[in-house]
Each structure stands twice: as C-alpha cells, then as structure tokens.
Structure 1
C-alpha cells in the first residue's frame, strides 16, 4: 500500500508506521497499528502486487470489495484510492478494479509501478534482484509490464481513455504539504539533581571544575570562563554540555579511559574544566571561536574517544538515563563498490568465475576508485572489454549498480539523543543491546535537529 502524508500529522504517523514495521511488527502491518496511525494519511493501493489486487487475481471479488470497504472505514472518505495501471497489460484485473471502485465508491487514480528510472535499467534491476536472492538471472522470474519511470507523454498515452485519473494525481499531490521544520535543535533537557535551571547548574559545575583544575583564582581563566559561559548560555547549549559532562563523568567513575580531546573542542575552557577534554586552551593559545562562534549558529562538535571494548557501556548508560525512545545509534549503508559490483553482476549473469575475477583484479585497489576511472586508467582492462561482448555487458551493468546500497550496519561513531520520542522525528529500527537504530543516515540527522556526535567514539585501546 502507498501511504502519503497530507500534513505534519500524517508524516509523523508515517514515521511511526515505518518504525513499527522495522521493530514490533516485521511480518507486516497489523490492522490495529493502521487504525492507530491513519490520521493525516492518504492510502492508494499499490498495483498488481497489492492485497486487493491479489484477491481479484484469484477471483475473490467479494473479499476484495470487503477489503476495500475496510480501507475506506479506516482512512475515511476521500482518503482512499484504487490504483489503475493499464501498462501492466492485464485487462482482466483492470476490469475487476473498476468493478470494486464502482461498488465501493472509491475513486480510481493513475499511478506508476516504478522500480527503476529508465527502461534500459531493467537488466541492472533484475541483476540486483538476483544478487539479493543469491540466484542467477535465469532463475529470476521476469517482471510483467513496464516498471520504469514513465514520461508525461507515456502516461498520457496509457491513460488516453481515463484522463480524469491523471488529473486526480495532481489533486492528491496538491493536498500533500508537509513542513519538516529543518534545523530546529531537538536536544533533550539535562535532568538537574535539584530544582535549578540548566544554566544555574551548569555554572556551578563549571565553578567546581575550576577548583579541581586549580585555576579558580586566576583572573585570566575566570574571565575566559565567563566569556565562554555567556556565549554557551546565549546559544542555549547548557543542556548539551551537561549531557556530555555527565556521561564523561560516568566514564571516569567507571575507570573507562577517554581521549584527551581533539578537534576544535580543545579550544574550549568549559570543556577543559568539565573534564571533557584534558587540553588547557589558554596555555596552548587555542581560540574558543573556532569551536563555538555566536556569528555562526550551529551545534558544537565534541569528538570523544573511548575504547571500543567499553563503548557499549556508555551507550547503555545514556539510554537508561534518557529513555530508550530518546537514544539511538545511527544506521550506515554499505554500498556496492567497483570490484564487488563486477563480481556480483558477473556471478548472477553466469560468466566464468575466473574471467570475472580477472576483470575485478584489473580495478585498482585504491579506495573509492570507480569503474569509469578504472577503465580510463587501465589499457589492459579496456582491451579485455573490447575483446569480449559478454564482459562488456557485465561491465555496463556493473556501472549501473555501482554505489547502490547493499546492506545496512551500525555506524561505529555516532549516537543521537532527542527531547521528543525519536519516532516523532525519525524512523527507527531494531538495533542491538536494546538500543534502537535510526533509519536515516548521519548526514540527514542534524537537518532534523538531532545532534549526531554525542558519542562519536573511536578506537582507543591500550595494549
């Protein structure tokens, strides 16, 4: 089923539905979840592979009508549509869909069953299906109908007898208007042990740190601290520093080794007196403005090093303190690199493994080398491709799948925290050790107001 968000409420429900499917209901979305999260959504049947369509293909017309009525009951009048896709070239199914539409008073709409962009990408798409299934191309069932992204002219021709269905797509699109409020920080509030504000408690912790560093009576340090505190509090980052101070204190109390500090955070006296870093910025002549500049409104960036053998202890502590729905690790996507793309495509196409291996070995081992760069740099590779039509076909297909996501894993250096439950901001999925994983990669999270560097933990092992 295709679900579209009309407004922000619908978008947040999409986030919740996606999170449920990746954590609590992996076998499929149960009706109770759909009833809970239907508000603000427009539902469209997906096409030939949909539930209603499958019932119709098995001549279960009455059951299909009841299923359509149930969707209408859940989402409401004007929020459910039945997709009609003549390019699937199944006139029997199209006729039955028209029947269901008429009998249930659910309008038809034109949609595209898009699996790849261009018509000529079909081979690459089929190869990806074979790679995922661990099969050869000959074992993959041929897709029925056209799956590419159709041009306006193509859609106009396919729907020449149903132009109102095309108009309806525009009407639906005009109803969808979501404001993501990008760039608004959503950090959690630090729970102070007394009833003081974060600013008040932050000041006291810094003052105590000055005493512990034995610099409380030095006017130069006092003035620098007051300056930094004024900037931090003006930019509303007191909670951020307290959160970092708190889990660093936990690490020190538990005997977990931490790095001395690196990057621009070494320019902060506040970070030094909070024992977040061990670098005295005044002694070394480091500038605070490189770390936090009031002229440039952006989140502070504190990179912290922990032993990778004890990193999970810190994450577990943060999760327990702020709640498992407010803390998550970050997903990362492994992609098909040049050599892997060649080997995988060659395997599913059934070419000789030695030839595929020889082809892959001609790709330079330099990280990040692309297939285009390799064929430009290697005359031997170019000659080999010129001599074999089969290998050229493998290479051209590999060019299309190179760089596409192949698997997900957990980012080794990032945890996000949120004031709101994460499912109000970002979709999540099961992780490990009871800590959720974001479904969005790191480069999107800060746009959503989630700071991604609270526990940017690198390897810090002592042998």
Structure 2
C-alpha cells in the first residue's frame, strides 16, 4: 500500500467550487501510484456513483465521502444559526455509506439554510461505519483554535471522539502555505496527543494542477456574481489547493510521518462495494391479508370498473396477460410505487403528463391512473414496455411522466 492517499478532494460536483473532472481525478491518483483516492464534495454526493465506476475502471480503490456542513441545530433557520462548520466523513463500509446518504438527504430536506446542514444529534444517530476528519480551517475545532478558545477546542475534539469512536475520528492537518494553518496544526498536534486522537494529512484539492488556480478563481467569481477585478470578494489565498503528489505531501508533513501513514491506513479500512446487477425497490406496504400481487390485481380491476362501461373479455385477457408478465418478472411493487407517487402528485397540484414513450402501452398503468391513455383504443403493444425476453426494468419513461 502506498504511503499517502488523498482523502479530501472536491470535484466538479462541488458546484461552482471545484474544477476537477472525476476521470482526471482518478487518473491523476493512478499516475502517482496511489492505490486509492477519496471524493469528498461539499454537502453533496452527486458524483459518488460515477466516481465509483470510474475508479473501478481504472483500477483505483474508490473512497466515498462528503464534506458536510455542521450547525448547532440543523432545523433552526434564522440569522442566529446561519454559521456552520465543515466536517469530512468517509464511508468505511456499506452501513457507513447508508448513513452518509441519510445525513446528506436530511441536510437538504430538513436542514437547508444557505447550506445543507446537519448537527451533532444527527451524527450520533448515524455515525456507524463512518470515519470522520476534522476538516480544513472552516472546521469547528480549527475555528475555535483560531479564536484562541483552546479549552472549547479540546471539548469539541472529545465530543467528536465520543460520537465516532477513538479509532474513527482524526484531526486533519493541512498545509497550503498559510500562516493560520501552521498555528492551527501545532495546536491540533497537541490536542491529538492530549486526547489520544490520531492525525491525518490532507490537501484541500479544488483543482487538479497548480496552473488551474486561475480557472478556479474565475469559477468562484461565477458562483458569487463577482468580477476578477473586484477586490472585496471570496477568493482562495494562493494556488496551493491542487492535487499534490505523494512526494510533495511527504515533504510538507515530514515532521508528522504518522499523519501521512494514517492516510493509507484509512484507505485500507474503507471498503464500499456496489452491485449494479441488483434491483432495489422501496418497500411497499399492502393491506393486511393482501400480497403485492393480489393487491395490484385488486386495484387494477377496480380501475377497470371505473373506466369501462363493461369489462369485456378482451379487456380481462389484456389485464391478465399484463399482470402475468409483471408478476413473472417481479415488478408488482414497482407499479404500486409509481402509482403512489403519481397519485400524490396529482392530489397536490404537481403537474403530471399523460404518459410518454412505451409507458402508454400498458393497460395496468392506465387503470392505476399512472397514464391517461387506453392502449386498447390505439392497439398499443404491451411488449414495447415490458418484455419477458428483455430482462431489465420496465421502460424508464414510466416514472418520468
């Protein structure tokens, strides 16, 4: 295993804040003989699957993570609680990945206020399988150190250690040539020793090469609606926020070899694997005494009674044929789920179309009010939509009305 692995990187999915293309990120790691690399975009996991697939393709281990925004109370949305802090989370296993998904989703659904936010209570509930790094100068501990609140910084270290466990929380050392970082690092080393918390070295990579700093600066101007010539605007302090080589990182942190070594140890521990050949659907609750198949059939025939003056033999044969194929291929829950969210949309004045593509070929979809087109009237073939000879999910146009 390599001596150093980058664990703090922002891609193009850190919108208007990162310039790194995922393919190039993985390639750069591979060219420097790094067996693994992490993706830790700001508050989002938009690039996680693409990153995983590209890393596997290039023979580099993907480490899936996120740099989250932490607030004192993620649901409080007023000026008093606008401030937030950064925290890097890495998924050690599948449970950690699920917890990361939960935290990021909750941050947007319940905690969005300028940024998608979570708090320590949520971290306590969803800490299993996660490795936490204290982040950059925008981290809570680092902020307290900069404010000379050393006792509070120590208490914060102990809180995070208690939430994640002594082996799963690391104090993050960074060196982009900033005076503030050197002062913070000295204090982090002391806190690590006093609190028995390990150190880890990272570089807050927002662009790939040192020469990309100007392009990144222009991107920040687009984000903030400023001009490059504007003096009072958000900008990075120098051109050192790039994907440094192993050698560069070892030289920067030669006084803290354990911080370099810990990057490789963390990389060894992070082992999230995805199976893209498996179909995963949400659980659909059916009434007591019903199965997915029986409940689907019941609702379809209720729809037939409502939509047709007479349920003819032709209609029954088409319904039974479609239900047979749907059940045979294991998709009754799929139709019930889509029926559920289309019904919700219609009941809440959310625009839903009549159906598009081959989705209109299904009488089951029509009778469940997923589509509004009667396939019998237009002599549409169900097999265009769901074919037992094509082992795949029903046509993707169904849920994209």
Q: CA RMSD in A?
A: 3.6
Greater helix share, structure number: 1
State the match for 2:133 in structure 1.
44
Residue correspondence of structure 1 range 301-312 to structure 2 within 5 A: 301=395
Contact 2:286 2:295 in 1 (8 A): no
Cα distance, 1:61–1:248 mapped onto 2, change above 3 Å: closer
Q: 1:226 to 1:79 in 2, by over 3 A?
A: same
User: 1 CA distance for matches of 2:157 and 2:174?
Assistant: 17
Equivalent-residue separation in structure 2 for 1:256 and 1:266 (angstroms): 20
CA distance in 1, matches of 2:131, 2:177: 23
Computing the radius of gyration from Cα coordinates, the structure with the larger value is: 1
CA deviation map 1:197-245 (0-9, x unaligned): 2322333444455565467444x55444433221101122223334555
- For structure 1, the residue ranges without an aligned partner over 5 or more in a row are 304-452, 458-463
Whether 1:65 and 2:154 are equivalent positions in the alignment is yes
Please name the residue that 1:17 is paired with: 103
Residue correspondence of structure 1 range 266-277 to structure 2 within 5 A: 266-272=360-366, 274=368, 276-277=370-371
SS in structure 1 of the partner of residue 294 of structure 2: helix
Say if 2:170 and 2:198, in contact at 8 Å, map to a contact too.
Answer: yes
1:306-321 counterparts in 2 under 5 A?
none
- Distance in 2 of aligned mates of 1:256 and 1:46: 40
**Deviation, structure 1 residue 39:** 2.2
Q: Deviation string for 1:24-61 (max 9, x for gaps)?
A: 34465433233222222211111333222223233333
Task: Name which of 237, 243, 255 aligns with 1:144.
Answer: 237
Q: 1:111: which partner in 2?
A: 202
Residues 199 and 87 (structure 1), Cα distance of their counterparts in 2 relative to 1, 3 Å cut: same
Partner of 1:292: helix, strand, or coil? coil
Rounded to whole Å, the distance in 1 between the matches of 2:270 and 2:368 is 47
Q: Which residue of 1 aligns with 2:220?
A: 129
State the secondary structure of the residue aligned to 1:169: helix
Q: State yes or no: 1:80 paired with 2:175.
A: no
- What pairs up with 1:152-167 in 2 under 5 angstroms? 152-167=246-261
Q: Specify every segment of 5 or more residues in structure 2 that has no aligned partner in the other structure, as ranges.
A: 1-86
Say if 1:88 and 1:144, in contact at 8 Å, map to a contact too: no
How far residue 259 of structure 1 moved from its aligned partner, in angstroms, is 6.1
Is the aligned partner of 1:241 residue 2:335?
Answer: yes
Deviation string for 1:413-433 (max 9, x for gaps)? xxxxxxxxxxxxxxxxxxxxx
Normalised TM-score (structure 1)? 0.56
Alignment of 1:367-446 (within 5 A): none
